[in-house]
Chains A and B, each alone.
Chain A
Amino acid sequence: MSAESLTANTESAPAAKRGFGNSAAMRMVKYMGLRLLTMMVTITIGVYLTILIANMGGYVDTIMRNEIRDSTTQAILANPQFRNLTPEAKQELIQKKIASEEKRRGLDKPFAIRSVNYLRNALTLNLGRAMYMTSDHGSKEVRLIILERLPATLLLAGTSQLLLFFGSIFIALSLSRKYGSWFDKLTIALSPTSAVPPWFYGIFLILIFAAILKILPFGGLVDVPPPENSFDYGLSVLKHLILPATSVIISAIFLSIYNWRTFFLIFSSEDYVEVAKAKGLPPRDVERRYILRPTLPTIITNFALLVIALWTGFTITETVFVWPGLGITIYRAIGAYDTPVIVGSTIIYAYLLALTVFLLDFVYALVDPRVKVGSESSQ
């Protein structure tokens, strides 16, 4: 923003205050509308691309057709009821069955048209039914498949990521105070450990704590059979949570601390931080009001993106720990070309992301007085 517009802003402040009621509200509504519209366009494009990719540009149709032909042929040939039919009649019956099955699955219409139908269903959150996968309770509803796996994923990803986020910010802040100290150097030296994925640490943790020391379970969500009363159940889940959560934390903590520490170091060399120290403010106040407060927008952004990223879970880590989460489900869906499940989880993620970005705009305006929602677009 130029200096001119800043001064103009200052001078017109009283005038703007008087006319705040209508023009500001109008501007706000206009801005929000525009923002929602552009986001909807982005989501539509993103989801359509996902549909195309998940269907391999229509190639999944071919796979399905072949599968239908195989299974129908097998079924009729193996059925003793039809043993007496002539080969021609059998062939005719097979063709009829295939046609009806393809019609049932919608394969009689070209992919281009169906992809648009998929898009409409996805955007209206009409997630439909899975092709092959079923929920643990036997339902084929994509919604149920996802909802059933969501709590476990949120538990693992939520616990580990929240601990990681707040832990690393807290440690990073104290490290930025002790720049060049022994612990600071150690953290930097250890940051490459984050190149190794969590499941790798998971394997070692399982080996040490489950196989050798035998104090923690190998995997799963709860003991088998699950404890009757809910307190014991919770305790058992907690015990199962320790190793996967620890492996996620170990694999990210040092890099995360290193990141935040550098971030805080940059902001703690701002002139106003120096002045705050010169003013003799207690170190806690300097940190809170002069380092954390001005960097709040960045911290909030990171946090919001982290929260929605929980949705995707950890694919391989969940597999290693036999953790019944979403990551493992999506992984299976991709392997089985179960497009409704893939598209279903993607569309929810897309909506969450868009909503977060939309809300962040307003959060920025709340925490940073320099940000005025809508003023940029109206100029």
Chain B
Amino acid sequence: MTHNSKLLNIEDLVLHFKTLQGPVQAVDGVNFSLDSNRAVVILGESGCGKSSLARAILRLLPRNAGTYSGHIYLNGNDIMTLPEDDFRQTIRWAAISMVPQAAMNSLNPVIRVGDQVAEPAIVHLGVSKADAISLVKKMFQHVGVPEDFINRYPFELSGGMRQRVAIAMALVTSPMLIILDEPTSALDVLTQANIFNVLKRLKKELGISFILITHDIATSSELADDVAVMYAGQIVEVGDTYRFFDHPLHPYSQKLMASVPRLHSDKEPEFIVGRPPSLINLPQGCRFADRCPARFEKCVQNPPVFEQDGRQVKCWLYA
């Protein structure tokens, strides 16, 4: 693999959770890569392991984490092998930052937002408190938060403002990569559009890469260069946005795209019969086979990833 030329290269990433019923295979052999100044959107249903993937990249493991293996290369260096303290100092927020799901609750209620945003700068850039605060002001300008909000507490901010503060917090150390975990799912469309405009501008101006995790296909198309579709803990298709939205390859992606409602269309939005498999008892072969309209004999075996004009798809149809 040419993981040296890429910003981020993930190989065989596995994250399982221990439960009484058995291991939950939330992330099960994920491979994908990301160039610098690119944005990839990870699409998928709720519970397919998208957020666990984000946590696995930042090594934010919950208490019941089980198997955690694979390789994550950042600029060619395998960060999985780093000791905990080095990982904290050199990766978390220094290289990769995150806008968490439910950014509403991601701010400490009893600390002023300015101080919370300044914290990573003080820890990772080693700047003084005053310098950090002026940095925070700059970031607030970037994301469109009034400067005097630095002295406010999170409960004094509206949801949209808190979301912007969370984005400013992700930016403050100028990381190479920001993981956005459903950054706008709780917001109204106007605020969503606003925030995506901010993200687009940041990508252009600061050259940051993004991993955008969402199930909101429409807004994700605003920012993303590439699309990765996740199903039952695995990535089933990777491709560039342009061709993907036009013509998805994997039957699951096709169904997913067909489920997006369109204005003035005679066609009813489609849905996929059945439910995603439980991540505890996964089927032996293709994990989508049970719900797949194009299923055939081969599907009882686990499909490898096939290349198709620079796009990758994990489906026997493209063998």
Name A's B-contacting residues (CB within 8 A).
Answer: 6-7, 9-10, 13, 179-180, 270-272, 274-282, 285, 289-290, 293-294, 296, 367-370
Chain A interface main SS type: helix
Q: Is the pair A179, B63 in contact by a Cβ cutoff of 8 Å? A: yes
A278 cross-chain contacts in B, Cβ below 8 A: 58, 60, 92-93, 97-98, 100
Q: Is the pair B100, A281 in contact by a Cβ cutoff of 8 Å? A: no
Q: Is the pair B106, A280 in contact by a Cβ cutoff of 8 Å? A: no
Q: Of A270, A279, A280, A370, which contacts B153 at CB under 8 A?
A: A370
> Scoring B residues 135 to 167 as 1 if CB is less than 8 Å from chain A, else 0, what string do you get?
000000000000000000101111000000000
Residue of B nearest to A290 (CB): B108
Q: Is the pair A10, B156 in contact by a Cβ cutoff of 8 Å? A: yes
Complex Cα–Cα for A9 and B153 (A): 12
Complex Cα–Cα for A271 and B158 (A): 18
B60 cross-chain contacts in A, Cβ below 8 A: 274, 277-278
B98 cross-chain contacts in A, Cβ below 8 A: 275, 278
Q: Is the pair A280, B93 in contact by a Cβ cutoff of 8 Å? A: yes
5 other A-B residue contacts (CB within 8 Å) besides A10-B157, A285-B119: A275-B107, A279-B92, A280-B124, A294-B110, A370-B109
Q: Is the pair B153, A272 in contact by a Cβ cutoff of 8 Å? A: no
- Do A280 and B89 form a contact, CB below 8 Å, given A6-B155, A10-B156, A13-B156? yes
Q: Is the pair B123, A282 in contact by a Cβ cutoff of 8 Å? A: yes
Q: Is the pair B100, A275 in contact by a Cβ cutoff of 8 Å? A: yes
Q: Of A10, A13, A272, A277, which contacts B108 at CB under 8 A?
A: A272
B119 cross-chain contacts in A, Cβ below 8 A: 276, 279, 281, 285
Q: Is the pair A294, B108 in contact by a Cβ cutoff of 8 Å? A: yes
- Do A369 and B100 form a contact, CB below 8 Å, given A180-B63, A278-B92, A279-B123? no
The answer to whether B88 has its CB under 8 Å from any CB of chain A is: yes
B102 cross-chain contacts in A, Cβ below 8 A: 271
Q: Of A271, A289, A296, A369, which contacts B106 at CB under 8 A?
A: A271
B123 cross-chain contacts in A, Cβ below 8 A: 279-282, 285
B100 cross-chain contacts in A, Cβ below 8 A: 271, 274-275, 278
Q: Is the pair A280, B108 in contact by a Cβ cutoff of 8 Å? A: no
A282 cross-chain contacts in B, Cβ below 8 A: 88, 123
Q: Is the pair B110, A367 in contact by a Cβ cutoff of 8 Å? A: yes
Number of chain B residues whose Cβ lies closer than 8 Å to a Cβ of chain A: 30
Q: Is the pair B155, A370 in contact by a Cβ cutoff of 8 Å? A: yes
Q: Is the pair A272, B106 in contact by a Cβ cutoff of 8 Å? A: yes
The answer to whether B301 has its CB under 8 Å from any CB of chain A is: no
- Do A294 and B109 form a contact, CB below 8 Å, given A274-B100, A280-B94? yes
The answer to whether B82 has its CB under 8 Å from any CB of chain A is: no
The answer to whether B91 has its CB under 8 Å from any CB of chain A is: yes
Name B's A-contacting residues (CB within 8 A).
Answer: 58, 60, 63, 88-89, 91-94, 97-98, 100, 102, 105-111, 119-120, 123-124, 153, 155-158, 169
Residue of B nearest to A371 (CB): B110
A294 to chain B, nearest CB (A): 5
Q: Of B89, B91, B105, B153, which contacts A369 at CB under 8 A?
A: B153
- Do A368 and B94 form a contact, CB below 8 Å, given A9-B156, A274-B60? no
B58 cross-chain contacts in A, Cβ below 8 A: 278
- Do A289 and B108 form a contact, CB below 8 Å, given A278-B98, A279-B119, A281-B123? yes
Q: Is the pair A279, B93 in contact by a Cβ cutoff of 8 Å? A: yes
Q: Interface centre among A13, A271, A296, by most B CB within 10 Å?
A: A271
A270 cross-chain contacts in B, Cβ below 8 A: 105
Interface pairs A-B: 10 shortest CB-CB = A280-B92, A271-B105, A275-B106, A272-B108, A280-B93, A369-B153, A279-B120, A280-B88, A279-B93, A271-B106
A276 to chain B, nearest CB (A): 7
Complex Cα–Cα for A280 and B63 (A): 18
Residue of A nearest to B94 (CB): A280
B93 cross-chain contacts in A, Cβ below 8 A: 278-280
Complex Cα–Cα for A271 and B120 (A): 17
B156 cross-chain contacts in A, Cβ below 8 A: 6, 9-10, 13
Residue of B nearest to A293 (CB): B110
Q: Interface centre among A7, A277, A369, by most B CB within 10 Å?
A: A369
A294 cross-chain contacts in B, Cβ below 8 A: 108-110
- Do A272 and B107 form a contact, CB below 8 Å, given A180-B63, A369-B153, A370-B155? yes
Residue of A nearest to B54 (CB): A278
B110 cross-chain contacts in A, Cβ below 8 A: 293-294, 296, 367-370
Q: Is the pair B91, A280 in contact by a Cβ cutoff of 8 Å? A: yes
A10 cross-chain contacts in B, Cβ below 8 A: 156-158
Q: List 15 A-B contacts (CB under 8 A).
A: A6-B156, A13-B156, A271-B100, A272-B109, A275-B106, A276-B119, A278-B60, A279-B97, A280-B89, A281-B120, A293-B110, A368-B110, A369-B153, A370-B109, A370-B110
Residue of B nearest to A178 (CB): B63
Complex Cα–Cα for A180 and B63 (A): 8
Q: Is the pair A293, B120 in contact by a Cβ cutoff of 8 Å? A: no
Complex Cα–Cα for A272 and B117 (A): 12
Residue of A nearest to B112 (CB): A369
B153 cross-chain contacts in A, Cβ below 8 A: 369-370
A79 to chain B, nearest CB (A): 76
